[in-house]
Amino acid sequence: MSTRIPLPYTPKVLELFRSPKNAGPMEDADVVESAGSPACGDMIRLYLKVSERDGEEVIERATFESYGCAANIAAASILTELVVGKSMREAWRISWKDVADELGGLPPIKYHCSILAVGALKRAVRSYYGKVGRRPDWLPEDLTIEERQTLEEEKMIERLYSGQGFRIAIALPRSGSSGQGA
Amino acid sequence: MSVGELLRVHGKPPREVYFDLENSGYVPREVVEEMIPYFNSVGYGHPSITHKPGWEAYEVVHETKELLSRVLNAGGLGEFAIVHSGTEANNLAVLGHALANRERRGKILVSAVEHLSVIHPAELAERLFGFRVLRVPVDGEGFVDPEVLRELVDRDTSLVSIQMVNHEIGTIQMISELSRIVKEVNPSTVFHTDAADAFGRVPIDLRELEHVDMLTISSHKIHGPRGVGVLFVREGLRLEPVLRGQLSSERLWPGVENVPLIAGFRKAVELAFDGFEWHVSKTRELRDALVRGILERVADVLINGPSDFSKRAPDNANLSFLYVEGEALTVELSLHGVYVSSGSACTSRILEPSHVLLAIGRRHEEAHGSILLKTSRYHTVEDVEYAVEVFPKAVARLRSISAARA
Ligand SMILES: Cc1ncc(COP(=O)(O)O)c(C=O)c1O
């Protein structure tokens, strides 16, 4: 196969992979957003049910669907647990690092799983306020690190497909540090 | 992070079946028992020293080569260099050739689906010495087209390396024909074949394969211990050692021979070739039952590699399960005690899926869902039945939460 790397997941990752919380679509979701794509090998779709409580929007329920590795499923699962009961403003402050920490840590090569999960969350929050037609003052216009990284991952796959193409080129590209030959 | 904790949470499944023979596997008791005396009661000496434990060690090395010569019909054709892995054998073949021919340089042709232990040394030869590496394309089942190869070989072609059997998708290349074509176009081109996944699975006769100059074998691909590889080098070939140090019985590889492991490898070769035909047909029947069983019970599965199973190594099965990601599936199957690997990007250092699957034209999302299984004569019908029971459950669970479902 291609170049391998050991992936010693934490017990929490394995537990949540085995028995994820809040998995599956949500019929009455107020907002649905996804991050990543099947071509990237990583995709998370997040469903949120939002209600108003004391003048604040609160995430009442959250579910996810995931296409991705064990870490991806665990990250999406823990994220849904983290956001439920939080106001949108609090949920916005969750970072990819928080998600990784809640999992007891992730192998560095899997950081993008928690980035993708939080990327989906931030997109969902933006999309919610886009729908209601109002931008709260705590919601910045600039993309967060997780949203930017998510976009980056989604674009990378397009480049891989459109670029010099792995398949047809006869000459092997010179290998940089990537370690992939073909 | 504690790996011990991970293993505790994983637990021991009620039944365990290991199909990840591509990435290494178990060593049967007979092979282990063969090795043990060589650590401390016989042959623990250095094979190039003149004392009894040394000669006992040399006997193991010597007998192993004699055995290889018999099973490969290579008597008088060249030498067998015993090295420490298939990776090292491939490095010796490619870089050893490049070192010996660095003044003339020229082109190195490798198939697009070679093992990285061929591709990366070829790229290194390009960087270090200025060889030009060309990748020979393959068709949708992994075959090199003989006529395309004929087009690519020219006066300037120094080395061609095409594997006998692909490690991921089991494609059996027509090495006899491909090597003949290379020599027809350019008799001075050297032909190497990586036979790590062919040895013990398809018949190999080095007298018939007269145009093959070098051939690679790896011990752990035939239920031998890890850490032994062999490069057959035809008489008269120019090759330089890659590693430098004190030579012993090997002219092409320095260092003290690992005699216990070589003894284990020798035993594994004996076992593989004692009833070769029977082993192959048993392996094939188990593989066929496994693939058939899974395809009957799981929808949306692609077969990667030759669909005509007679053109495929008898042990190899490679399936893509659409809408699930392969790494997650390996973990799910592991929780059920079925051990396999995936060509998904998620198992790799660089987040790109298997270059073999991309080379045969699989889309990324198809490659990400790929699962590689290999059967062997050590599996039972019950092992296969168990896997066939587990697969539909595992795939269904992951599909039920999949974001990629249409
Ligand atoms: C086709 C092929 N070549 C070479 C190797 C490398 O052999 P080893 O694992 O002994 O280094 C392998 C093993 O993975 C292989 O499948």
- Cβ distance of B120 and A175 shorter than 8 Å: yes
B200 C-alpha vs ligand 1 centroid, how far in Å? Answer: 14
Question: Does A69 qualify as catalytic in the annotation?
Answer: no
B365 touches chain A (CB under 8 A): yes
Nearest CA in chain A to B366: A39
Q: Which residues of B are catalytic?
A: 346
Output the six-digit token pair for B345: 């990007």
B218 C-alpha vs ligand 1 centroid, how far in Å? Answer: 6
B222 C-alpha vs ligand 1 centroid, how far in Å? Answer: 11
Q: Which of B21, B172, B215, B218 to mutate to test the pocket of ligand 1 (most atoms within 8 A of CB)?
A: B218
Per-residue pLDDT, averaged over B20-41, amounts to 96
Nearest CA in chain A to B134: A171
What pLDDT is recorded for position A175? 38
Bigger pLDDT: A67 vs B350: A67
**What burial class does residue A88 get, using C-beta atoms within 10 Å of its C-beta: 0-12 exposed, 13-18 middle, 19+ buried?**
buried
Long-range contacts of residues B384-387, Cβ cutoff 8 Å, at least 24 apart: B384/B286, B384/B289, B384/B290, B384/B293, B385/B293, B386/B15, B386/B17, B386/B337, B386/B338, B387/B17, B387/B19, B387/B290, B387/B293, B387/B294, B387/B338
pLDDT band for position A157 (cuts 50, 70, 90): confident
- Cβ distance of A11 and B355 shorter than 8 Å: no
B194 touches chain A (CB under 8 A): no
Which distant-in-sequence residues (6+ apart) come within 8 Å of B40 by Cβ?
A: none
Which distant-in-sequence residues (6+ apart) come within 8 Å of A2 by Cβ?
A: A179, A180, B116, B343, B345, B348, B349, B350, B352, B353, B354, B355
ipTM greater than 0.85: yes
pLDDT digits (tens, 9 = 90+) for B210-258: 999 999 999 999 999 999 999 999 999 999 999 999 999 999 999 999 9
The pTM of the full predicted model, rounded to 2 decimals, is 0.94
Tokens 């949708």 appear where?
B140
Residue A78 identity: I
**Is residue A169 predicted with pLDDT exceeding 80?**
no
Which distant-in-sequence residues (6+ apart) come within 8 Å of A120 by Cβ?
A: A33, A34, A35, A44, A45, A46, A64, A76, A79, A150
- Cβ distance of B23 and A169 shorter than 8 Å: no
How many Cα atoms occupy the beta-carbon half-sphere of B82 within 13 Å?
29
* Helix A111-132 vs helix A70-83: crossing angle, to nearest 10: 40
Output the six-digit token pair for B337: 């005690």
**Is residue A181 predicted with pLDDT exceeding 70?**
no
Q: Of A69, A155, A157, A164, which to mutate for an interface test with B (greatest number of B Cβ within 10 Å)? A: A69
Measured at the CA of B313, the angle between CA B95 and CA B389, to 5 degrees, comes to: 125
**What burial class does residue B124 get, using C-beta atoms within 10 Å of its C-beta: 0-12 exposed, 13-18 middle, 19+ buried?**
middle
**Is residue B198 predicted with pLDDT exceeding 60?**
yes
Per-residue pLDDT, averaged over B356-373, amounts to 96
pLDDT digits (tens, 9 = 90+) for B93-141: 999 999 999 999 999 999 999 999 999 999 999 999 999 999 999 999 9
What pLDDT is recorded for position B405? 77
B194 C-alpha vs ligand 1 centroid, how far in Å? Answer: 8
Output the six-digit token pair for A92: 């916005």
CB A172 within 8 A of CB B123: yes
**What burial class does residue A10 get, using C-beta atoms within 10 Å of its C-beta: 0-12 exposed, 13-18 middle, 19+ buried?**
buried
What pLDDT is recorded for position A172? 39
What pLDDT is recorded for position A179? 33
A35 in helix, strand or coil?
A: strand
Per-residue pLDDT, averaged over B8-12, amounts to 96
CB B322 within 8 A of CB B301: yes
What pLDDT is recorded for position B1? 56
Q: What distance in Å separates the CA atoms of residue A24 and residue B86, rounded to the nearest whole number?
A: 45
pLDDT digits (tens, 9 = 90+) for B319-357: 999 999 999 999 999 999 999 999 987 766 667 899 999
- Cβ distance of A11 and B358 shorter than 8 Å: no
The helix (H) or strand (E) run that includes residue B136 is strand B132-136
pLDDT band for position A50 (cuts 50, 70, 90): very high
pLDDT band for position A165 (cuts 50, 70, 90): very low
What pLDDT is recorded for position A162? 66
pLDDT digits (tens, 9 = 90+) for A100-155: 999 999 999 999 999 999 999 999 999 999 999 999 999 999 999 999 999 999 99
* Helix B259-273 vs helix B52-71: crossing angle, to nearest 10: 30
Which of A13, A16, A31, A40 is labelled catalytic? A40
Per-residue pLDDT, averaged over B2-29, amounts to 95
What pLDDT is recorded for position B163? 98
Per-residue pLDDT, averaged over B308-319, amounts to 97
Q: What distance in Å separates the CA atoms of residue B82 and residue A130, rounded to the nearest whole number?
A: 67
Q: What percent of chain A clears pLDDT 70, i.e. is strictly above it? A: 87
How big is chain A, counted in residues? 182
What pLDDT is recorded for position A5? 86
Output the six-digit token pair for B394: 């595992």
For residue B224, the Cα-to-chain-centroid distance in whole angstroms is 13
